[in-house]
A and B are shown apart, each in its own frame.
Chain A
Amino acid sequence: MRAIRTAPGACGAHVAAPQAPPSPSPARRQRRTLRTIGSGLSKHFVLIVLSAMFALPLVWMIGTSFKTAGQALQMPVVWWPHPFLWSNYPDLFAALPYFRFFLNTFLYAAITIVGVCVSSSLVAYGFSRLRWPGRDAVFYVMLMTLILPFACTLIPLFVMYKRFGWIGGYLPLEVPTFFGSSVFSTFLLRQFFMTIPQTLSDAARIDGASEFYIYRRIILPLAKPAMAAVILFQFVYCWNDFLGPLVYIGDQNRYPLSLGLDLILGEYTTNWAWVMAGATAATAPIVILFFFTQRTFIQGITLTGTKG
């Protein structure tokens, strides 16, 4: 393999013609450079056109959010808001309890993040760092719940929570996370735990450390990047969650952002600038968060996605 790698003309997939002679004539080299540039340009052309198509909805959302209600409906469309209206945001926040929605969402996220971090890391530890009879079979049962449609459990859960008096609040969405309901997080952490050398645990065991000590003092500190990914994903999940609150939360004052946003469409359909201001206000924090934590995000996705 070494020999092949150092062989001239085969130093990478981008070499178009491996059978080319070692020293091509200047004209030939020029042609090849042109071709490389040409293919590079066409690649970038395709990518730029596609990027523009992907970015257009967001650009249009932000643009509309700074227009007057009338200008948003102007045809042909106005690309740059004129006048540039900031007041849609404060007006919208005054008309709807937006900060309330933000607060509710943050609280929902914070509590479930605690639940997920505690329970998923324990369970993941049990599925990766310990060997016990039946472990893999039980693990597959857990993975199976990933394909179980939520509709298959929703009605009895609703009936059960109603009996507990939990309907109307966030308990139905929060309590299960303390019992490993986030299978994705458990899976992600398990994948990460498996990459930590087993000798580390063995050494600690010889020193007489208990399994819980190893989990708490050795594995968890090493798993910080994976835990960061779990926290991020859970935050994004709560920020996005629509169905859960739709089923369980009735009082508008307790709405999370997703339901609050849905409310705007119902009440202010005539003012698209407001609707888009609401959408921007809900999107911006998560996109900004993503920009600052991109590496963690991508690593987390890679960990769950590619090693299935």
Chain B
Amino acid sequence: MQAATTRVTLTARAIRSPRARRLWLGLVFVSPWLIGYCAFYLYPFLATLYYSFTSFTGIGNPVFTGLANYSGLLHDAAFRTAVFNTFYYTIIEVPFSTVAALGLALLLNMNVRGQAVYRTLFYIPSIVPVVASSLIFVWIFQPSFGIVNDLLSDVHINGPDWFFSISWSKPTFILLGLWGLGQPMVIYLAALQGVPREMYEVALLEGAGPWQRLRKVTIPMISPVILFNVILALVLSVQYFTQAQVIESPPGSPGNSTMFYITYYYQQAFQFLHLGYASAMAAFLFAGVLIITVVLLRTSSRWVYYENEQR
């Protein structure tokens, strides 16, 4: 009884201390996310790591198998293909769409009349539902009846089979990705409009040409935005899945040329019920994403400029 009373007073006193009170209040407000984080992120993430060391089909209990899944990945040719395909897509799509979105934003930022109209036109494709845009691209790139090959034949080019050609399937997916560059473009445009005008005026007085103004003023000023968007684009691009799933049947065809990382993961997990093996793939993917992000953030101090270092 005595002890219980003491504890109650102690807790009461602890809560009365302003620091503890503020902590308590803050935690109450973020508690929905805290609960959600534990239930929908932390626990499943740790469980994935655990499953990756087991053999598991979803029925019964996982059986511990040590590093078997990981050594399996090393000897799996389809896995290597999936890594290669995803790498191919990412290494081309992300730089291209970043440069193109930035270029378009710079163009629109040059006092263009009708800027809002162009901005809308370029942005709309990025809000077209993914399944719809996939269907549209299958249709316009249809080998024998699509408009692209029809236009190409007007200039006497024999168009390829696009999505249904082993060598052209990935480039066609990249074109589909580039169609959605309106999202980053709008962000870059907003960032460009946030660059103080005075900086350009000073640069002009100093005799800086357009190229120097771009290199020495514009790019440094918006570099934090570029970094943020490039990281997000990379993370999304290594998880490329939906478009390939909608367009290619069976998924991964022709000849495994569109077997992306998640396509293979999805097949292993939900078709073959190799949940342990798929979990090892997920862990491997996480390591990859983490390395990319850390490298980008670490090297970013060399090319990212923070106006007022207040972080």
Q: Given A151-B281, A301-B186, do A60 and B51 touch, yes or no (CB 8 Å)?
A: no
Chain A window 107-132, contacts with chain B (Cβ cutoff 8 Å), 1 for yes, 0 for no? 00000000000110011011100111
Q: Is B73's CB within 8 Å of the partner chain A?
A: no
Which of A22-30, A83-91, A222-230, A278-286 faces chain B?
A278-286
In the complex, which residues of chain B have a beta carbon less than 8 angstroms from the beta carbon of A77? Answer: 147, 150
In the complex, which residues of chain B have a beta carbon less than 8 angstroms from the beta carbon of A147? Answer: 231, 235, 289-290, 293
Complex Cα–Cα for A282 and B182 (A): 19
Measured CB to CB, the residues of B under 8 A from A are: 19, 22-23, 25-30, 32-33, 35-37, 39-41, 43-45, 47-48, 51, 58, 104, 107-108, 110-113, 118-125, 127-133, 135-140, 142, 144-145, 147, 150, 179, 182-184, 186-187, 190-191, 194, 197-198, 200-202, 204-205, 213, 224-225, 227-229, 231-232, 235, 238-239, 241-242, 245-246, 249, 262, 265, 269-270, 275, 278-279, 281-283, 285-286, 289-290, 293
- Give the A-B pair count, Cβ closer than 8 A: 291
Complex Cα–Cα for A153 and B33 (A): 16
A-B contact pairs, 22 of them (CB 8 A): A1-B198, A15-B204, A58-B128, A61-B132, A75-B150, A119-B32, A126-B27, A133-B22, A134-B23, A145-B37, A147-B231, A153-B41, A156-B44, A157-B44, A180-B33, A242-B245, A261-B129, A286-B127, A287-B124, A291-B120, A302-B186, A305-B187
Q: Given A152-B45, A283-B128, do A130 and B29 touch, yes or no (CB 8 Å)?
A: yes
In the complex, which residues of chain B have a beta carbon less than 8 angstroms from the beta carbon of A153? Answer: 40-41, 44-45, 48
In the complex, which residues of chain B have a beta carbon less than 8 angstroms from the beta carbon of A266? Answer: 249
Q: Given A46-B107, A151-B285, A211-B25, do A286 and B129 touch, yes or no (CB 8 Å)?
A: yes
B183 to chain A, nearest CB (A): 7
Q: Is A47's CB within 8 Å of the partner chain B?
A: yes
Chain B at the A interface: SS class:
helix
In the complex, which residues of chain A have a beta carbon less than 8 angstroms from the beta carbon of B232? Answer: 146
Complex Cα–Cα for A73 and B202 (A): 59
Complex Cα–Cα for A46 and B100 (A): 13
Instruction: Choose among A15, A43, A58, A162 the residue that contacts B136 (Cβ–Cβ < 8 A).
Output: A58
Q: Are B51 and A156 in contact (CB under 8 A)?
A: yes
In the complex, which residues of chain B have a beta carbon less than 8 angstroms from the beta carbon of A155? Answer: 44, 47-48, 51, 269, 275, 278-279, 282
Instruction: Choose among A56, A176, A276, A298 the residue that contacts B40 (Cβ–Cβ < 8 A).
Output: A176
Q: Are A50 and B286 in contact (CB under 8 A)?
A: no
Q: Given A155-B51, A156-B51, do A130 and B129 touch, yes or no (CB 8 Å)?
A: no
Interface size on A, residues (CB 8 A): 103
Chain A window 141-160, contacts with chain B (Cβ cutoff 8 Å), 1 for yes, 0 for no? 11001111111111111111
**Extra contacts besides A51-B118, A239-B129, A305-B190 (10): CB < 8 Å:** A4-B198, A60-B139, A123-B32, A126-B27, A132-B27, A146-B235, A149-B282, A236-B127, A259-B131, A265-B246
In the complex, which residues of chain B have a beta carbon less than 8 angstroms from the beta carbon of A75? Answer: 144-145, 150
Q: Is A217's CB within 8 Å of the partner chain B?
A: no
Q: Are B187 and A47 in contact (CB under 8 A)?
A: no
Q: Would you list which residues of chain A between 231 and 284 have a CB under 8 Å from chain B?
A: 236, 239-240, 242-243, 246-247, 257-259, 261-262, 264-266, 272, 275-276, 278-279, 282-283
